[in-house]
Structure 1
Amino acid sequence: MILNSANLRTLYTGFSAAYQGGFAGAPRQFERVATTVPSSTSQNEYGWLGKFPRIREWIGDRVVHGLAAHAYAIKNKRWEMTVGVDRDDLDDDNLGIYTPLFTDMGRETATFPDELIWPLLKSGFSQLCYDGQNFFDTDHPVLDAGGVPQSVSNSGGGAGTPWFLLDVSRALKPLIFQNRRSFEFRRMDAATDEVVFDRNEYRYGVDGRCNVGYGFWQMAYGSKQTLDAAAYGAARAAMQGMKGDYGKPLGLTPRLLVVPPSLEAAGLEILNAERDAAGATNVWRGTAELLVVPWLA
């Protein structure tokens, strides 16, 4: 191949098409549990997560509720992936080895939010959320009907393989994917580029800015207990009985059971089997959707 600007432009177009094809065909699961929040600064503040007021009968003047102040922020990070292409391979038209590579780069870029979101969910037993407690904890502070702080749990405890029951029906899901700058496929292939001159190499890559964080802990229940009917029932009861400050029922609908591949069979038995191990009617059949997440393995 003659390495002039026109041919290099055509080559970039082909690599870009392979990248876009891989991106478009990639399976993405993070959107089921995370809300994508656009960002325009180095970090976003989420202090408003603390408290929302409830509707009341309008008698006299309005009652203005101040949102609880919590110092919770998600700071954006920079990410990149770069591939070097030997100029001799282009000279010799040895391009077949690179097209699958750029297709895979597109797939990796598309699923990168999954690589951030699912480990975040898994580490929720030891990572803090907006109220200063671990995301999955036994003592989240919530005010009762009389305004007295009480401890509320969204954790089943245990020491086994973690699984999660979530309400993902709201505008803000349990987790947050914060996007500052979407990933862009770019090139460094001009004859005047230092890397081309010094290393006899063309470079193609992607880069972006984003990060992840926790939303409302009330919309997620995490457990390391054995995943069986009793533990699943306890998780549902805990979530459906969840109340906000001053005794306001939250009306949660836990309809997504998230498990790693090792717990797929247990999840299917709870949600799909007509009868339980004792032969009785399985009351939990169809109460949630099972989502098996390979990133939780």
Structure 2
Amino acid sequence: MAAITPASLRLLWTGAKKQFNAGYEAMAAKSFYKDVCTVVTSEDEKETYDWLGDAPEMREWIGSRVVKDIKSHGYEITNVEFESTIAVKARDIKNDRLGTYNPRFRRLGESAARKPDQMVRDLIVNGDSQLCYDGQNFFDTDHPVAANHDGTGAITTVSNMTDGAGQPWYLLDLNSVLRPFIFQEREKVELVGKEDAKQSDHVFMNNEYLYGADAYWAAGYGFWQMAHMSKAALTGDNFDAAYEAMMGVKGDGGRELGMMPTHIMVGRSNRSSANKVIKAMLGDGGATNTNYDEVKVIVNPWLP
């Protein structure tokens, strides 16, 4: 039986990091959250997004500049700490069984990389019951729009959802640097170890060495105008209706926003229908599919 030495602990740490990083990088390459989120580096416990409103448009410069005040909403996203920990038994180090931990450290890296996708999945799935910056549910039938560019005047309402009895599917406009959702990163995920037998009370009392991943993240809602949820059956006609509704969304003052859906996100139950509506060149009876390749299809395994 081998003794536990600083060299053997360094070997364990090197192997743990190697496996963790390999798992993280492989899974991160398949991640979708960066495609649908504005990724923000957070500088504090929480961030306030008071700019989530109508930004001024370019105008012909005649005379002096016209200064437009962007209305303040005070939408806050608070960071949350996440962790996952693996205990390596001292006897496994002594018996040279470290290879049995490689899959666990790799899986820990995969789990860390998948967590942002799970957080954004929760935003999407619960979007019709959680508030966004304008005080309405992110997916709602009555988002307030003001008559004037500065947010004043009579209020009318705009919908970014279609009700129905089916599993939801989502149209997204991902053309801009700003996205429908926000992923907030206070600290990047990191693998840490607690392994000094001479100083660690845990090692002394439990005869095991701890290695864990931790991160400080949050996710929230960005621009509802860039997303449309439909619970209607995913057919060509219903796709057209949702597409046109999203393109027709206007901001304060009746300003055209120029929304242009680029992606459709579906879960398992709508995968086949999405491929039929978007990816098939011909429709039923051999007719030309006018929606062929109109948007990109994202099949999200986290959605119902």
- Normalising by the residue count of structure 2, what TM-score does the alignment of the two structures yield? 0.94
- Number of aligned positions between the proteins: 297
Amino acid at match of 2:170: F
- Match 2:271 to one of 264, 269, 272: 264
Deviation at 1:229, TM superposition (A): 0.9
Partner of 2:176 in structure 1?
A: 170
Partner of 1:14 in structure 2?
A: 15
| Inter-partner Cα distance in structure 2 for 1:273 and 1:25 | 31
Q: Percent identity?
A: 41
Partner of 1:161 in structure 2?
A: 167
| 1:108 equivalenced with 2:114 (yes/no) | no
| 1:243 equivalenced with 2:246 (yes/no) | no
Partner of 2:296 in structure 1?
A: 289
- Match 1:71 to one of 71, 74, 83: 74
The superposition leaves residues 73-96 of structure 1 with CA deviations (integer Å, 9 ceiling, x where unpaired) of: 000011101111111111111122
Deviation at 1:155, TM superposition (A): 0.3
Partner of 2:127 in structure 1?
A: 124
| 1:91 equivalenced with 2:91 (yes/no) | no
| Inter-partner Cα distance in structure 2 for 1:36 and 1:276 | 38
Partner of 2:65 in structure 1?
A: 62
| Inter-partner Cα distance in structure 1 for 2:79 and 2:63 | 45
| 1:231 equivalenced with 2:211 (yes/no) | no
Deviation at 1:278, TM superposition (A): 4.4
Deviation at 1:97, TM superposition (A): 1.8
- Aligned-partner SS, 2:100: coil
| Inter-partner Cα distance in structure 1 for 2:279 and 2:215 | 41
Deviation at 1:2, TM superposition (A): 2.4
Deviation at 1:182, TM superposition (A): 0.7
| Inter-partner Cα distance in structure 2 for 1:237 and 1:282 | 17
Deviation at 1:159, TM superposition (A): 3.0
| Inter-partner Cα distance in structure 2 for 1:159 and 1:43 | 37
- Aligned-partner SS, 1:295: coil
The superposition leaves residues 178-223 of structure 1 with CA deviations (integer Å, 9 ceiling, x where unpaired) of: 0000111010110120110000110000111110000000000011
| Inter-partner Cα distance in structure 2 for 1:36 and 1:136 | 21
| Worse-matched range after superposition: 46-55 or 132-141 | 46-55
| Inter-partner Cα distance in structure 1 for 2:190 and 2:75 | 29
- Match 1:143 to one of 146, 150, 159: 146
Partner of 1:200 in structure 2?
A: 207
- Normalising by the residue count of structure 1, what TM-score does the alignment of the two structures yield? 0.97
| Inter-partner Cα distance in structure 2 for 1:144 and 1:85 | 63
Deviation at 1:145, TM superposition (A): 6.6
| 1:41 equivalenced with 2:44 (yes/no) | yes
Deviation at 1:290, TM superposition (A): 0.5
- Aligned-partner SS, 2:202: helix
- Aligned-partner SS, 1:218: helix
Gaps of 5+ in 1: none
Amino acid at match of 1:58: W
